[in-house]
Structure 1
């Protein structure tokens, strides 16, 4: 089947979206950018194609009717089992890399003890791996670095204490090894992992044993289906690093405008708040950009601002919104500078203001900054679509709704659960148009 792929290389995350010949979204993928855009593009695309396989699994199994009301349970279990298989392979690669770095490291007389401690760390990591992918398990991240890192550091500290080995040795080994492992693309092993996961899924769901033939056949049929990368278009902060010709690159303004239009055809104004910048875009009824404004190089008003505040508060980024939603008192944050906002935060805390009230004030300050950018682009028109990673922050959404109502009245605000993929969706749509409407071929896709 022909697939049209859009890749959005953001400053913090890289996203990919795959659409089919009918413009159905069949797959999405995301990974950390880590400033290695070549690898990030490959990993995000691989994840989106994998996600597309699961989409096709669901379609194929729906047609057979073999699982009746148990389809969702089966697909969810299969995906958990696949992720577990993938995670164990990555753990094995991380262990191999750490062992290699022990041999080349400068540990002196402690080398033997470090090697033994490392072996114990990975023994425990592998023993606990299945718990991370059990039904109902909560993971703060789906990125291997984050999952393995939190487990490795906790277990490593405990093992080092028990073995009388310096914890810093184990910590340094992880830091030296993780980059090499997280930058590995595991596309060739996908089929192997999926087949192994399928066996584990049948074991985990014994009620499906009598339906095995009717379930296994369509899944293997999907695995045998070639998903052709017909045309790829790239966009985003790191688009200059994409490994194909300029003909396959579009600006992030054009892609976000078109992506928002595809999600919500009546979109007139788009606000995208990402990790690196904030974009206010006005589009016509066909999704063509009429005007736009972006923030300057300052981090205020974008995701990095929130990341800085999270670090200042010693909190996870995902905790900021829920805390701000508990606010009972309006606090005005005067500084729009990220660094000065941190100083004001500390001053507020010293004066006895509650953390949740301060957080609410900081979120409002971010949106006030965005509102000024929107005003310069032409204001807010109905319908208004909010995209980007910050659109998942409930406190930011609340502040935006309040300020839009105060300044523009009652307008329809659109927020898609997958809004972080808006730029990638726009790029995938450009890829689809290039082939289906303009008759282009993919001959330049892999050009340098």
Structure 2
């Protein structure tokens, strides 16, 4: 099966999208960009192709009628079990790496105690792992480093106390080990993890056991289907680091413009607020860029800025939007400069302003900055599409709706739940066009 893949290597996350010969999106993948861009691109692509397998599972199982109305529940459980299998493989690697880094005389007389504490700590991590992927379980992140790191730190303090060693010894081992594990390629384990996950799913859903053979057959057929990486296009903040020839690289502007058009065909104006920059793009009816403006010299008003605010407030990034939505008073924030944001935030708090009102003011200030970039690109035309990670922030969306209405009147505002993949989708579409419309082959890839 031919697949056309786009990879968007951003400053904080790397995204990949796979489409088929009919330009259907069959898979999406995302990972944190980490320090190793080559690995980030490879893992995002692997995740997209795994996601494509689940897309094909759904098609094959639906056609087989093996699940008789229980298809969605079965696939949801299978995906949870697969993520658990992936997590356990990486957790075992992290344990082995931690033990190796803690061996010898590194901790002097405490070395044996540290090794014993690590053994106990990972025993507890393995024990609680299934609950992290149970139905309804809430995780702040789906990235291994975030999940394992938060639980390691939470349990490590208790284990260190019980073992009579300093907590920082366990922290030191984790810090030395996690980057090594995070940048490892686990692609060879995907098929075995899927099959192990299938066995878990039959146990979790005993009603399906009687149909196990009928269910396994289409799943094995999909696993035996080769997903041919026909052509790949790379884009994004780190595109220069992608292991592709120049012919396989497109600018962020072109990919975001075309990606927004593919998501919402009527798109005329695109605003993308990512981790590192803000892009305002005008496109024609074919998704071809007509003009653009970009703020790429300062993190003010971008995802990194919100991350800094979250740190200042001792909150999770995902908590900022919901807090701002509770605001009952307009608070004007004078600066969106990351350098001075903390000082103004503390000043506002010292004046008795409520945190939710300050957060609402900050979100409005961010969107006001974006509006000025939009104005320089040619203003806002109907339809207007908002993309990027910040498009998932409900307070930013509300501020944008309000300001667009105030300045341009009523118009269609598109926000796709998968908008973070816009650049990657544009890349995948360019890959499709390169082969199907221009007759290129994958040989141009390095």
Superposition TM-score, scaled by structure 2 size: 0.99
What is the match of residue 175 of structure 2?
A: 175
What is the match of residue 116 of structure 1?
A: 116
The 2-side partners of 1:34 and 1:204 are apart by 34
What is the match of residue 443 of structure 1?
A: 443
Q: Which runs of 5+ in 1 are unaligned?
A: none
3-state secondary structure, aligned to 1:390? helix
The 1-side partners of 2:269 and 2:161 are apart by 56
The 2-side partners of 1:162 and 1:432 are apart by 58
Q: How does 1:47-446 map to 2 (within 5 A)?
A: 47-103=47-103, 106-445=106-445
Whether 2:1 is the aligned partner of 1:38: answer no
Instruction: Give CA-to-partner distance per residue, 1:96-149, whole Å, 9 cap, x none.
Output: 000110125621111111001011000111111111011111111000000000
The 1-side partners of 2:261 and 2:353 are apart by 42
8 Å contact from structure 2 (residues 367, 399) kept in 1? yes
Q: CA RMSD in A?
A: 0.8
Q: How many residues of Structure 1 are paired with residues of Structure 2 in the alignment?
A: 446
Q: Structure 1 stretches (4+) deviating beyond 2 angstroms?
A: none
Q: Which runs of 5+ in 2 are unaligned?
A: none
3-state secondary structure, aligned to 2:70? helix
What is the match of residue 13 of structure 2?
A: 13
The 2-side partners of 1:68 and 1:385 are apart by 39
8 Å contact from structure 2 (residues 104, 111) kept in 1? no
3-state secondary structure, aligned to 1:315? coil
The 2-side partners of 1:69 and 1:358 are apart by 48
8 Å contact from structure 1 (residues 333, 341) kept in 2? no
8 Å contact from structure 1 (residues 11, 35) kept in 2? no
The 1-side partners of 2:107 and 2:8 are apart by 42
Q: CA deviation at 1:35?
A: 3.0
Q: CA deviation at 1:214?
A: 1.3
Q: CA deviation at 1:341?
A: 2.1
What is the match of residue 4 of structure 2?
A: 4
The 2-side partners of 1:213 and 1:164 are apart by 52
8 Å contact from structure 1 (residues 2, 20) kept in 2? yes
The 1-side partners of 2:406 and 2:313 are apart by 30
The 1-side partners of 2:115 and 2:420 are apart by 42
The 1-side partners of 2:419 and 2:121 are apart by 38
8 Å contact from structure 2 (residues 336, 362) kept in 1? no
Instruction: Give CA-to-partner distance per residue, 1:370-402, whole Å, 9 cap, x none.
Output: 000000000000000000000000000000000
3-state secondary structure, aligned to 1:380? coil
